[in-house]
Amino acid sequence: AQSVTQPDIHITVSEGASLELRCNYSYGATPYLFWYVQSPGQGLQLLLKYFSGDTLVQGIKGFEAEFKRSQSSFNLRKPSVHWSDAAEYFCAVGTGNQFYFGTGTSLTVIP
Amino acid sequence: DAGVIQSPRHEVTEMGQEVTLRCKPISGHDYLFWYRQTMMRGLELLIYFNNNVPIDDSGMPEDRFSAKMPNASFSTLKIQPSEPRDSAVYFCASSFGTANTEAFFGQGTRLTVV
């Protein structure tokens, strides 16, 4: 069965520090992978996606993610976090006709 | 396009009442998804439609929940009767094609059942 694991429920980083959010998936075939961000009171917005090709994908707001097949991972990174990045981040796998979401990682940014 | 539009944004209702949540997907999208988000269970897929036809409703928690999509531009999620444990944020999302494309989410309906 397909599943997505985000092992970190909550992360706190200082503004300007680097960020890495972890995501592991379980899926038999080549997955379609996504990262979404949810600001308070808002819906989910797509940050980036991986379908095939270059395993390092660039997204909006300075985010990037790297697909590592050997580790079944799709970690999200940002070299320098801004206070406006504080939000909930969701990793998702697209398979067949559905999207499977992780439980999310809440990011707090401190000055 | 204005994106996926959900109404109402907030709903407070008494236990036992009927609640109807509405969704207008992005024009041209052929998949529509209903999700429920709670602190305890995260994002749960309730049901999804393809070309207005329900494909998988295995995530619908109980018979009290029902969803319809009478046409390509409108869907409803109904809870009858509502219970306090139904309190959650309900999201509608739409996409064009299968899961190799992104899903576009509405802003959600925050439902509180008292």
Residues from chain B that touch A49, judged by Cβ atoms under 8 A, are: 102
- Strand intervals (E) in chain A: 3-5, 10-14, 19-21, 24-26, 32-38, 44-50, 56-58, 64-68, 73-78, 87-95, 98-101, 105-110
B7 in contact with A, Cβ within 8 Å: no
The confidence score (pLDDT) of residue B40 equals: 83
Token couple for A53: 């090709």
The confidence score (pLDDT) of residue B94 equals: 94
Dihedral (Cα; B70, B76, B77, B80), 10-degree rounding = -90
Contact B93, B37 (CB under 8 A): no
Residues in chain A: 111
Q: Say if residue B99's pLDDT is above 70.
A: no
The single-letter DSSP state of residue A97 is: T
Residues from chain A that touch B91, judged by Cβ atoms under 8 A, are: 43-44
The confidence score (pLDDT) of residue B102 equals: 84
Nearest CA in chain A to B96: A97
B55-73 pLDDT per residue, tens: 999 999 889 999 999 999 9
Rounded Cα distance between B1 and B3, Å, is: 5
Contact B35, B90 (CB under 8 A): yes
Cis amide bond preceding B81, omega within 30: yes
The confidence score (pLDDT) of residue B1 equals: 65
Rounded Cα distance between A94 and B72, Å, is: 22
Rounded Cα distance between B54 and B62, Å, is: 16
| Interface contact B100-A46, CB threshold 8 A | no
Contact A32, A94 (CB under 8 A): yes
B76-87 pLDDT per residue, tens: 999 999 999 999
A34-70 pLDDT per residue, tens: 999 999 888 899 999 998 888 999 999 999 999 999 9
B7-44 pLDDT per residue, tens: 999 999 999 999 999 999 999 999 999 999 998 888 89
Rounded Cα distance between A79 and A59, Å, is: 13
